[in-house]
Amino acid sequence: MSTLGLSEKFFFDTLAVRSRAYMDLLKVRLSALVTFSAVFGFILGHSGQVFSWTTFLALIAGGFLVSGASGAANEIKERDYDKLMKRTQNRPLPMQVISVNEAYWFTIISAVLGIALLGFFTNWLTTSLGVLSMILYVFVYTPLKRVGPIAVLVGAIPGAMPPLLGWTAATGSISYEALIIFGIQFIWQFPHFWAIAWVSDEDYKKAGFKLLPSGGQKDLNTAIQIMIYTLFLLPLGLLPTYFGFTGLNSGVVATICGVLFLAQTFSLMKDCSRKSALKIMFGSFLYLPIVQIAYLLDKI
């Protein structure tokens, strides 16, 4: 291979590595899930409203960038802790694939673009909620992770914000329907977060993260708390049907999913094992999108 060919290969290989690093910094998969929840809220809320493709696309792009910027800021603030944990030590900042200064500028540009898209093409309420979500996630939730499980309560607020953003982008207001879909995702955060914290407990302890309740123990008390919050999802999941903004079919799906999700917590209470916590973690990943898709299909 010629020198020119080697140079071109090196250039494209480097470009590919750095592109992947920036995508990793944005936490693309997580940001995509966040964007899906926002889309869910928008479509559910647009009934009786004129469907604006401009607003819809701005919500997708702006929501993705705001979420990605929040994740990137989190990685910047926790870069020294990420080096200590097996699950995060291969992130771009611990691996020094990109510099901290580059990461700062990338995060700022992503945040500004995301907020601008929401500000110009949705409404002030949606934009304000997006900014609030970012502030809570980066400047409150992130440092609280080393303080105690109060971080989960705080983190559940920005974590449940996407469907609310979608609803307000479609309607321009916060109604009881918006609070219901916010509440479902808010309560879902607790078994979701705690299952992840249980599975990753050894790693989290290396970084000083304290997310588990009951004094941070993987015991029956923590398992019971996970069960209680999962139990709350059963009546909450029926509220959209009860108030009539979705139909009966989605209520049935939400109940079945809630019962299956709840059943996994009994296993954890019985053996307090990592395997049972892992099942709850994967169950949480399935529960929310399935239930939200059921609501949408019932609405359509």
Give the CA count within 13 Å in the CB-facing half-sphere of 156.
20
Hey, where are the domains in the chain? 18-172, 175-300
Long-range CB contacts for residues 94-102, cutoff 8 Å, separation at least 24: 97/17, 97/18, 97/21, 98/18, 98/21, 98/22, 98/25, 100/76
Each residue of 130-180: pLDDT tens digit? 999 999 999 999 999 999 999 999 999 999 999 999 999 999 999 999 999
Confidence of residue 8 (pLDDT cuts 50, 70, 90): low
∠ Cα 223 75 283 (to 5°): 30
CA distance 100 to 25: 11
What tokens does 1 get?
């291979």
* The pLDDT value given to residue 15: 67
Confidence of residue 7 (pLDDT cuts 50, 70, 90): low
Q: Are 206 and 288 in contact (CB under 8 A)?
A: no
Sign of CA dihedral 8, 13, 17, 22: positive
Q: Are 132 and 164 in contact (CB under 8 A)?
A: no
Tell me the C-alpha to C-alpha distance, in Å, between residue 291 and each of 34, 80, 191, 249. 15, 37, 16, 11
Domain 18-172 indexed as CATH 3.40.190.10: no
DSSP class of residue 15?
H
- Torsion angle of C-alpha atoms 105, 106, 111, 112, degrees rounded to 10: 60
Burial class of residue 7 (count of CB atoms within 10 Å of its CB; 0-12, 13-18, 19+): exposed
- pTM, rounded to two decimals: 0.92
Each residue of 19-38: pLDDT tens digit? 888 999 989 889 999 999 99
* The pLDDT value given to residue 17: 78
Burial class of residue 124 (count of CB atoms within 10 Å of its CB; 0-12, 13-18, 19+): exposed
